[in-house]
Structure 1
Amino acid sequence: MRVAIFGTTGAGKSTLLKDLKSLLDDSYIFIDENFESPYFKQAYDENSDDIQTINYKLDLWMLTDRMKTFKKYIDQKNIIYDRSLLDSMVFAETDHNYGRLNDVDYNVFKDYFLSCVVPNFYDKELKEFKYDLVIYLKVDEDTAIQRINKRHRNEEAKTNDKFWKSLCRNYETWYQFYKDVLPIMVIDSTNQDHLDYAKKIVDRINEFDNKNNKKDC
């Protein structure tokens, strides 16, 4: 089963992945987010005179890296992604809202994403390019920011709370779009215990796997 974790920074993705690793069998592999972009540190420097150019390059790099990773593991039967192709448009949207991306670059990025990436999720002939399940970790803005501040990651600490609030809202906006394209399980990660909802997700995964195993018989 191909699973994507979808949710803003501070939603609880790292904790969920840790729980899923302990609950699922060894047939599942887990793909962490890649922070090795040559633009990553520069993109979080809000005093940079070239911040819009750098963030456009970062958004393109991240989208490309996610596509390469997707293709690399395309034959893997059971896989869970920390972040996926779905997240790329959310971050580009937020960069644009926050002034990190100019209008022209944003429109070019969005046009490419909607024209060349999203259609893969619709095309019935491209089954290998689909996610079997998307887990949307929904969290309120204040809780997400509290978690971000608590873990003290350097690049995140340099970023104004306005960015994180915009990111949280944009995840909800794009969820409304993606829910008509992909099977999405919504999890309230603000109020629910993380282990409780991890078990619910595992039940959903096992249900899917059992159903597919019966088809193969």
Structure 2
Amino acid sequence: MVCLAGMIGIGKTSATKLLGERLGGTVFYEKVDDNEILPLFYTASEEEQELKRYPFLLQLEFLNSRFQIIKEAVKHENSIIDRSIFEDWYFAKINHDLGRISDTEFSIYEKLLDNMMNEVDEIPQKAPDLMVYMRASFETILDRIGKRGREFEQDKNLYNYYYALWKDYDDWVFNHYDRSAILVIDMDHMDIVNTPEDANIFVEKVQNKLAEVKID
């Protein structure tokens, strides 16, 4: 099992598709297009966010879908996951730090996550074999969010949210995540969609790391 991790807009979905094609695994994509709360999370005013609790609802929606995905992914011999349940807590924490999720909501979220992880730990494959952390500068992140063109992501008022997520990602990866081996890939000068050579380098890095941790 390989999980892709990294900032919004970094290219995880494209990387998941690429690895699925090259490594022959079953792919599991983050559920975005059919998520009714996601556009509301990005576009609602602060007053609407406060009244309708969209950040908390969105986090529960993503947690539920990621829990479903990890339970399905472990049934396959080879699976590639576009952001996993192991990364979900980080997004909840940032929204809590920003005051978008209350202390009570965050406590409820963590209790629910703990229950889910206890169930995951009962599964024979308890964790990924490798997490691929796709890393880039903040300028690259903003550029790629702009280029992928999701209208609800383009509001300049989201800058502080994106920066809050970006600035602490390394801390989460290197000081909190302990479920598997980690491969860090610098995406600042890598375009795996439009540059075949970059795609080949990306896949080779993943294959080499899998061989290093003795996963075929």
Q: TM-score interval w.r.t. the shorter chain?
A: 0.7 to 0.9
Structure 1 residue 153 displacement after superposition: 0.6
User: Does the CA-based 8 Å contact 2:5-2:87 persist in structure 1?
Assistant: yes
Is 1:154–2:159 an aligned residue pair?
no
1:177 paired residue number = 175
**Which range moves more in the overlay, 45-54 or 130-139?**
45-54
2:88 partner letter: S
- Give, in whole Å, the separation in 1 of the partners of 2:65 and 2:16: 20
The Cα offsets for residues 135-189 of structure 1, whole Å up to 9 and x where unpaired, read as 1111121111111112221121135211111111232222123443322111112
Trace 1:133-152 onto structure 2 (pairs within 5 A). Answer: 133-152=130-149
Structure 1 residue 88 displacement after superposition: 1.3
The Cα offsets for residues 46-105 of structure 1, whole Å up to 9 and x where unpaired, read as 315331412101101110111012212331111100111022112112222333222321
Give the 4+ runs in structure 1 shifted more than 6 A: none
Q: Choose between structure 1 and 2 for higher RCO, CA contacts under 8 A separated by at least 6 residues.
A: 1
Trace 1:191-210 onto structure 2 (pairs within 5 A). Answer: 191-192=189-190, 194-195=198-199, 196-205=201-210, 208-210=214-216
Trace 1:107-122 onto structure 2 (pairs within 5 A). Answer: 107-113=107-113, 115-117=114-116
Aligned in 2, Cα 1:111/1:173: closer, same or farther, shift over 3 Å?
Answer: farther
- Give, in whole Å, the separation in 2 of the partners of 1:171 and 1:118: 21
Uncovered stretches (5+) of structure 2, i.e. residues with no partner? 192-197
Aligned residues: 204
Is 1:8–2:13 an aligned residue pair?
no
- Give, in whole Å, the separation in 2 of the partners of 1:44 and 1:77: 36
- Give, in whole Å, the separation in 2 of the partners of 1:177 and 1:75: 29
Q: State percent identity of aligned pairs.
A: 24
Structure 1 residue 32 displacement after superposition: 1.0
- Give, in whole Å, the separation in 1 of the partners of 2:172 and 2:112: 16
User: Does the CA-based 8 Å contact 1:39-1:57 persist in structure 2?
Assistant: yes
1:83 partner letter: R
Uncovered stretches (5+) of structure 1, i.e. residues with no partner? 211-217
SS of aligned partner of 2:9: coil
1:199 partner letter: E
Aligned in 2, Cα 1:73/1:43: closer, same or farther, shift over 3 Å?
Answer: same
- Give, in whole Å, the separation in 1 of the partners of 2:17 and 2:178: 29
- Give, in whole Å, the separation in 2 of the partners of 1:152 and 1:83: 20
Aligned in 2, Cα 1:83/1:107: closer, same or farther, shift over 3 Å?
Answer: same
- Give, in whole Å, the separation in 1 of the partners of 2:184 and 2:118: 23
Structure 1 residue 43 displacement after superposition: 1.4
SS of aligned partner of 1:5: strand
- Give, in whole Å, the separation in 2 of the partners of 1:54 and 1:179: 26
Trace 1:28-177 onto structure 2 (pairs within 5 A). Answer: 28-35=25-32, 36-47=34-45, 49-52=47-50, 53-113=53-113, 115-117=114-116, 126-158=123-155, 160-177=158-175
